[in-house]
Amino acid sequence: MEFFNSADLLHALPLIFLMSWATILLLVAAFARAASERIMPALAAAGLLLTGYFAARQFGNPASAFNGMFAADGFSAFITLLLVLSGLLAIALSSDYLKRMSLNRPEYYVLMLFSITGMMLMASAADLIVVFLALELLSIPLYVLAAFAQPEPRSEEAGLKYFLLGAFASGFLLFGIALVYGATATTSLTGIFIAAQSGLEQPLYLLIGAALILVGLAFKVAAVPFHMWTPDVYEGSPTSVTAFMAAGAKIGGFAALIRIFIVALPSISEQIVPVLWALTALTLIGGNLLAIAQNNVKRMLAYSSISHAGFLLMALVVYGQDAARFDVVASALFYLLAFIITSSGSWGVVIALEKQAGKGLEFSDYAGLGRTQPVLALAMAVFMLSFTGVPPTLGFAGKFYLFRAVLEGEYVGLAILGMLASLISAYYYLRLIVVMYMQTGNPKIHSERWLNLTTVGAAIGVVVLFFASEPLFDLAALALLHVN
């Protein structure tokens, strides 16, 4: 058996390129420290753009590499593009913020790129071992990033909490992989599928292994009841890291969940779907209910992010239905796109209002924003409406396609639950709009070039792309999983 060949390297080109680029940047940071502080954001963005270019070229040529451990297909390419987009948005949000908060160390961007590499690998992993590797590769830089504001205690606490609980969750994942291996004698996703088809001696092992893998990944995407770390970590981390984490980690986690469940585990869908259903319901209700009680915008957005994980899980519940399988992937990808843009934009507004030492993050700090900063307030209103799912925003289109997939899978109850959750979410999203427009105050903002550009651009994108939802969805529908 050949270990690998040159074609494999070509299939993994985006990944390998970004990894190498990040390593080079690390060297740049080490040897040209002063210069790198200035040019690092641009270099990182350039690397991402090139990665995106390589990934886009892979569209439409599904292939598998490294003895079936690595899949390069439309799905991974689309996820990579989403990651490039969220990475670029995060860099744009970070560069000014880091300077303002005196955090401008070049390693920040290197860590971000490494983490993105892990997220990309999550989407391409065709073997449970690779999934684990990818998960760690994505997580460890995030732990460091969460604590990046050290010696700020809240940031350190966030990093440590995230690391401890992340390690705990990784244990479940690893244990699950072991059980699946015990049941099927393989870690390859296709191998698991074939083994499950041909009958197992211990089917329960597979089921429990799958459940434990679900736990490990549900932790990453912050599904209730494995979400507890989220508000604390989101609140304690530097806001630009939070913005990146909310989007990127979710993409990676869902990419792995979708690939594992659809490729390897369709045979146990009947048993595992009630668990997924319950997880979804808990996440939807818990995330939304808890968001209501928040007075801190960062925490509110953290819970909001949890609730959106719930919406994304709705797509996964349907994964076993043949009729809906195409739409599961497409609608989840589309929803991720909508979430990335909306979420990054809203974090941009938070960054614009944030002051030193965690001040400027309460709801009351937003009072009067509609009058003093009409553009920023309007952008925030657009993001809140998009989160709620009000047309004409991308968020509406995302929910529309998602609910459609759920109804195609004939999970009417789940769809109704999703509607109710949206309804509850209106309570706290609209509350922010009310505060901005109907209460008086005189908020001060930081007007920084890239920040403004990102925020306003995201707001415009949320509205304008709504009118292009149909072609975007069609594009997402092309991002097929390569099953072999």
Residue 206 binds another protein (CB under 8 A): no
Q: In angstroms, what is the minimal distance from the CB of 268 to another protein?
A: 9
Is the Cβ of residue 4 or residue 168 nearer to another protein in the bound state?
168
- Segment interacting with another protein, rule: CB under 8 A, options 71-79, 98-106, 202-210, 395-403: 202-210
Instruction: Tell me the two tokens of residue 63.
Output: 């292939």
**What is the dihedral angle through the alpha carbons of 432, 437, 440, 443, rounded to the nearest 10 degrees?**
70
Q: How far is the CB of 17 from another protein (least distance, A)?
A: 36
Instruction: Please say whether the beta carbons of 121 and 15 come within 8 A.
Output: yes
CB of 133 to another protein, least distance (A): 22
Could you tell me which stretch among 30-38, 267-275, 393-401, 409-417 binds another protein (CB under 8 A)? Answer: 267-275
Measured between alpha carbons, how far is residue 135 from residues 139, 216, 225 in Å? 6, 9, 20
Applying CB under 8 A, among 253, 286, 310, 360 the residue interacting with another protein is: 286
Judged by CB under 8 A, which of 168, 326, 400, 437 binds another protein? 168
Cα Rg of the chain, angstroms: 21
> Which residue, 21 or 219, has its beta carbon nearer to another protein?
219
Alpha helix segments (H runs only) across 32-63: 33-58
Asked if the peptide bond before residue 231 counts as cis, ω within 30 degrees of 0, the response is: no
Choosing from 290, 328, 351, 406, the residue that interacts with another protein (CB under 8 A) is: 290
Residue 271 interacts with another protein (CB under 8 A)? yes
Residue 429 interacts with another protein (CB under 8 A)?
no
> Does residue number 424 form part of the binding site for another protein (CB under 8 A)?
yes
Nearest approach in angstroms of CB 272 to another protein is: 8
Among 29, 135, 142, 207, binds another protein (CB under 8 A): 207
Residue 442 and residue 294: Cα distance in Å, rounded? 22
Q: Are 228 and 218 in contact (CB under 8 A)?
A: no
Residues 328-357 that bind another protein (CB under 8 A): none
475 backbone φψ class: left, alpha, beta (φ>0; ψ -120 to 50):
alpha
Member of 73, 152, 232, 327 binding another protein (CB under 8 A): 232
Q: Using CB under 8 A, which of the segments 76-84, 158-166, 307-315, 345-353 binds another protein?
A: 158-166
Instruction: Give the residue among 156, 222, 208 at the shortest CA–CA distance from 177.
Output: 208
Burial label for 467, CB within 10 Å (0-12, 13-18, 19+), is exposed
DSSP class of residue 68 equals: T
Which residue in the set 28, 50, 63, 208 belongs to the binding site for another protein (CB under 8 A)? 208
Query: Which amino acid would we find at residue 434?
Result: V
Which of 79, 126, 180, 212 is close enough to bind another protein by CB under 8 A? 212
Q: Is 231 in the site for another protein (CB under 8 A)?
A: yes
Contact in structure between 263 and 304 (CB atoms under 8 Å)? no
With CB under 8 A as the rule, give the number of residues binding another protein: 33
Dist CA 378 CA 369 (whole Å)? 9
User: Cβ closer to another protein: 431 or 446?
Assistant: 431
Q: Which two tokens stand for residue 224?
A: 């209730």
Q: How many residues does the chain have?
A: 484
Q: Give the residues lining the site for another protein (CB under 8 A).
A: 160-161, 164-165, 168-169, 172, 204, 207-208, 211-212, 214-215, 219, 225-226, 228-229, 231-232, 271-272, 274-275, 278, 286, 289-290, 292-293, 424, 427
